[in-house]
Structure 1
Amino acid sequence: MAHDEGYLLDNRQAEAGVRFDALSELFDPSTFRHIEELGIREGWRCWEVGVGGASVPRWLAGRVGATGRVLATDIDVSWARQAASPVVEVRHHDMARDEPPAETFDLVHARLVLVHLTDRDRALQSMISVLRPGGILLIEDADPALLPLICPDERGPEQRLANKLRSAFRSLLAERGGDLAYGRKLPRLLREAGLIEVRADAFFPITSPACDLLETATVNQVRDSLIAHGYATAQEIDEHLDNVSAGRLDLATAPMISAWGRRPAA
């Protein structure tokens, strides 16, 4: 995931790899379904923005074939380098500061990127600017405010503790400039940017082993921040992680809003 200064979930932390694997298991099927339905084919040129891990550029490479191209960029490409191939170029790029690539694309895709940036409008315009006529933009971003509870079935103290920590995590995101209601805005933003044939849907799992892995890695990444800001004690965090490890919680993710539109052909 690309990030600006102060990004809460730093790719350089060891837990990032676990998070990428969990996110891949949870959301790759939905992402791939959308891209298939958008008509990806051999020879397409694709830009994967804020790539994070290697799963999406590898899949894209298999669809565009030897005559296609996949540019995979992030502010930290250490987790994506393994996707590099004659078709996939992995490049350092900071959406918050750098100019867009000097080429055009049939597909530009970003997942869980813009919600974390403070200058989201600039980043969105940057991605639209490199679409070829008729090219497609697919943005997938979370909307934590749509489902503020990580345990929607809040039936006891373990679930209440989980929801307390999730509320604290949301506060940390907001303090870093994250827009907790960004996902729902995407259809309007794409239309206002001049894209046509705009559509959107939402997906989120309510319980899955990958949700447990994602929660454990996320809490471990933000542990120090939660304690430093007075949102939770070390004892509360350890208790919550024990509850997750024991499989006693049905953990949900924030809804993932997928929105897509096409640049007019003329």
Structure 2
Amino acid sequence: MSEHAAASEAADQGYLLDNQQTEAGIRFGALSELFDPVTFRHIDEIGIGTGMRCWEVGAGGPSVPRGLAERVGDTGQVVATDIDVSWMREAAAGGTIEVLRHDVAADPPPPGGFDLVHARLVLVHVTDRARALRNMVQALRPGGALLLEDADPGLQPLLCPDETGPEQRLANRLRSGFRELMAGRGADLAYGRTLPGLLRAAGLDGVRADAYFPITSPACAVLEAATVRHIRGLLVSEGLATDQEIDRHLANVASGTLDLATAPMVSAWGRRTGS
């Protein structure tokens, strides 16, 4: 099976925001701007440094693999995996980053053991989340850390938390349609809040967690516009919005007058015991 066919099949089986559309690259850039500072604050607190080996699960874009590669240096290694690696090919330049097509819920972990396994905004979309989590824990070296970061739209479901007028009401109705499409593809909209308990149940030590969601960042507007364009056809075909409503919403987003938010991203981390 070709890489493109495998990615398309995976998208048909459930993933709403597949990597084949141009908007995917725009979304990766916006997510990087919004969440990379949070991700790398946690990674630096965990203590990832020279010579270590890291597995970036469902990497999507190149920003996190590159940041990990800077930390582990020439003597370390970063394995970046996804069901569609088309946006990561350039990240492999230089030799520190190995890019692999891989399904974390279906394939065995890459061999060798890792000092860090990280997945951001991945498991919420994976149907067999329990198997994916087991695979990631299995891949840890003794003392290695697992950092999971996932959305919890149920904790804060609104695109415009301050719903003051028709523009905000339209934005929140389209966000509700997006959540409905996600749930229909098997996404768990309350998954983020479960991460600390899941890590403890997996036997990890020193589990900690926090949550973050931005409001009014310019990247929120970029992310929203790209996401709506990405799923526009489904919003219309499923009767969740009309083309006219989508055009009006995109114009409202472009105007810069909406205070847009994301769903909270819950970050949880812990270490595998043993020696």
TM-score by length of 2: 0.95
Pairwise CA distance, 1:98: 1.4
Matches within 5 A, 1:82-93: 82-84=90-92, 85-93=94-102
Which of 155, 167, 176 aligns to 2:185? It is 176
Which residue of structure 1 lines up, in the alignment, with residue 18 of structure 2?
10
Tell me how far apart the structure 2 counterparts of residues 134 and 125 of structure 1 sit (CA, whole Å).
Answer: 16
2:111 maps to: 102
Paired position in structure 1 for 2:3: none
The count of aligned residue pairs is 265
The structure with the largest helix share of the pair is 2
Measure how far apart 1:252 and its partner are.
0.1
Structure 2 CA distance for aligned equivalents of residues 87 and 9 of structure 1: 28
What is the aligned counterpart of 1:191 among 190, 200, 210?
200
Per-residue CA deviations over 1:174-222 (Å, capped at 9, x if unaligned) read 0000000000000000000111100000011011110000000000011
User: Following the alignment from structure 1 to structure 2, what is the Cα–Cα distance between the partners of residues 177 and 6?
Assistant: 7
Unmatched runs of 5 consecutive residues or more in structure 2: 1-6
Q: Distance in 1 between matches of 2:50 and 2:105?
A: 31
* Residue 259 (structure 2) aligned to one of 246, 250, 263: 250
Q: Which blocks of at least 5 consecutive residues in structure 1 are unaligned?
A: none
Q: Deviations over 1:111-138 (max 9, x none)?
A: 0100001100000000000100000000
Alignment match, 2:67: 59
Is 1:144 aligned to 2:153, yes or no? yes
Deviation beyond 4 Å, 4+ runs, structure 1: none
Alignment of 1:111-260 (within 5 A): 111-260=120-269
Amino acid at match of 1:59: G
1:6: Cα distance to partner?
2.4
Does the CA contact (< 8 Å) of 2:80 and 2:98 recur in 1?
yes
Give the AA of the match of 1:81: R
Q: Which amino acid aligns with 1:243?
A: N
Secondary structure of the residue aligned to 1:70 is strand
Partner of 2:4: none
Deviation larger for 83-92 or 153-162: 83-92
Aligned partner (choices 31, 41, 45) of residue 49 of structure 2: 41
- Structure 1 residue 70 and structure 2 residue 81: aligned? no
